[in-house]
Amino acid sequence: MVNTPISVGLVGLGQMGRNHLRVLSMLKGVSIAFVHDADHDAGKRIADQYRLNFRPDVDEALKGVDAVVICTPTSTHEDYVQRAARHVSNIFVEKPLAHSLAASEALHKLAIERNLNLQVGFIERFNPAVRELKAVLREPAQVISVDFMRTNKVSSRITDVDVIVDLMIHDIDLALHLNGSVKSVFAHGLVQNGMIAFASALLTHSNGRFSRIQASRITDKKMRLIQATCDDMFVNCELVRKEVIIARQLVQAADEHSPYVTSSVEEMLAVRPEEALLSELQAFVANCVAPGSVEVPRASDGVEAMSICDKVQQLVMSGEAGQLLVNQDASRSHREGVQA
């Protein structure tokens, strides 16, 4: 018996949307039922290039598909997810879940009420280097602090969100993914033309670990770096090159004049050459077929990350470095409630 392909609609054909289109076109068991973009002329050209069906009326098009991938500007995520949820239970939305904490919480509530398979596009979780890093930092590793740096010159296509929601949110999600829930946030930053262009945050986690996160749209050089300080090793993770290097400190007995000497040994882990977007969409499709079969970022994760973003924004926009406490009960309810 031949399995029926999953029919998927793609909404949004900007740079990220075209990346999704490329990968969706490669996936076995997936049929792209339609594509849509607010710019009908540009969308029609792309649809013709791939020999796909362009649908100008997205609400009507959503009635006939099994799943939808939403790659529209952040400010439109809430609207498109709500519209999709009227007809489709399998929804992938690019990060962030929505443009604000209140909107993210509303979508999380909707996902629970409608029992949606709602996946958020935190793509770095699928970076093979991050997967190796997470394995290294599991217990009994004694992690003290994890540092994240992400820099990129502002793109002309990003005009509706600041550096925190555009870039830093990736590392906030990774900090939560690697180190667990957060009890306090300290942050400062720089505002240019009414929008945050540089931010630095210190997260104190409930388990005693720290995450130091820096994001910048000012720096021309593209950097994606994670460094973990542990009591017996230092781990350097380069996300663009997909490299993980562990430096372990060794203490050796010497002679009567020197009781011990220290040295370090470096080990480069073997990281499988995988495309994160491919792995991410494969996971989405797998959960469309067998709900819950693959662990993915859910709406609850989107809310938790946006909650930290909101606190960093408050601190930076206030103009004074400071600290805010995180509502542990609210965070716990997002994680322990229905995983949507």
Nearest in space to 32 (alpha carbons), one of 55, 14, 3: 55
* Cα gap 177→175, rounded to integer Å: 5
- C-alpha–C-alpha distance, residues 268 and 158, integer Å: 35
**Does the pLDDT value for residue 336 go beyond 50?**
no
Copy the structure tokens of residue 242: 């997909």
Task: Spell out the residues 6+ positions from residue 208 whose beta carbon is closer than 8 angstroms to its own.
Answer: none
The dihedrals phi and psi of 223, each to the nearest 5 degrees, come to: -130, 140
> Which residues is 145 bridged to in the sheet?
210, 229
Confidence band for 338, pLDDT divided at 50, 70 and 90: very low
Residue 205 vs residue 161, higher pLDDT: 205
| pLDDT at 253 (0 to 100) | 56
Quote the pLDDT of residue 155: 57
- Torsional sign, CA 312, 176, 74, 241: positive
Q: Say what the pLDDT of residue 31 is.
A: 97
- CATH architecture observed for domain 6-123+279-297: 3-Layer(aba) Sandwich (3.40)
Task: Among 156-170, 242-256, 295-309, name the one with the lowest average pLDDT.
Answer: 242-256
pLDDT score for 159: 63
Q: Yes or no: say if 164 and 312 are a contact pair by the CB < 8 Å rule.
A: yes
* pLDDT the model gives residue 1: 34
Residue 47, pLDDT above cutoff 60: yes
- Mean local confidence (pLDDT), 73-83: 97
> Where are the chain's structural domains?
6-123+279-297, 125-272+300-336
Identity of the amino acid at 308? I
Average pLDDT of the residues of the chain: 91
pLDDT at 59 over 70: yes
Range 72-84 average pLDDT:
97
Q: What percent of the chain has pLDDT over 70?
A: 89
State the pLDDT at residue 335: 53
Fold of 125-272+300-336: Dihydrodipicolinate Reductase; domain 2 (3.30.360)
Task: Say if CB 177 and CB 225 are below 8 A apart.
Answer: no
In tens, the pLDDT along 257-313 reads 666 655 678 899 989 999 999 999 999 999 999 999 999 999 999 999 999 999 999
